[in-house]
């Protein structure tokens, strides 16, 4: 077993949870891109979405390296017939709150991995997630509408 493939149950749980969270976070980013009025908010959501896709690829690869099957389930929200993110009017304030909640949840999960995880690759991903999430929160707080 190489150091890259060494992992414990906490690592496996972190990666599985992160993949599920990234699916949901992707929906949130897509909703912001489709519904935000502020072009800076849409641009931030687009950048975040690119990073989310990169994370999904990296974590899926890690699961395969560990000999695990990756099952991507379709979120219930996306399965609603005839309803898209653009069909639901939401204020920019609500969209910022949605992205802030996603980033904070991602950081919390990554902190748990840093404490309980063993795998060097999954811990490195968690560390990167904390840094990226902190940067995203700083941007979102600057974009947060007043009032």
Q: Which domains does the chain have, with CATH numbers?
A: 9-143 (1.20.1260.10)
CA distances from 40 to 50, 96, 118, 141 (A): 16, 11, 38, 12
User: Does the structure show a pLDDT above 60 at 86?
Assistant: no
- State the average pLDDT over residues 53-75: 87
Answer yes or no: pTM beyond 0.85.
no
pLDDT of residue 82: 42
> For residue 84, which phi and psi values (nearest 5 degrees)?
-115, 170
pLDDT digits (tens, 9 = 90+) for 61-71: 999 999 998 87
Position with higher pLDDT, 107 vs 86: 107
């Amino acid at each position: 077993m190489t150091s890259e493939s060494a992992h414990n149950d906490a690592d496996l749980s972190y990666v599985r949870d992160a993949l599920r969270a990234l699916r949901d976070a992707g929906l949130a980013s897509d909703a912001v891109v489709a519904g935000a009025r502020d072009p800076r908010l849409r641009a931030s959501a687009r950048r975040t979405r690119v990073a989310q896709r990169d994370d999904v690829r990296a974590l899926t690869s890690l699961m395969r390296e560990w000999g695990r099957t990756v099952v991507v389930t379709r979120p219930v929200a996306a399965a609603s017939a005839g309803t898209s993110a653009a069909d639901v009017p939401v204020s920019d304030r609500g969209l910022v709150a949605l992205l802030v909640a996603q980033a904070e949840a991602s950081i919390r999960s990554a902190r748990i991995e840093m404490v309980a995880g063993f795998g060097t690759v999954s811990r490195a991903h968690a560390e990167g997630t904390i840094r990226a999430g902190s940067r995203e929160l700083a941007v979102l707080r600057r974009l947060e509408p007043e009032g």
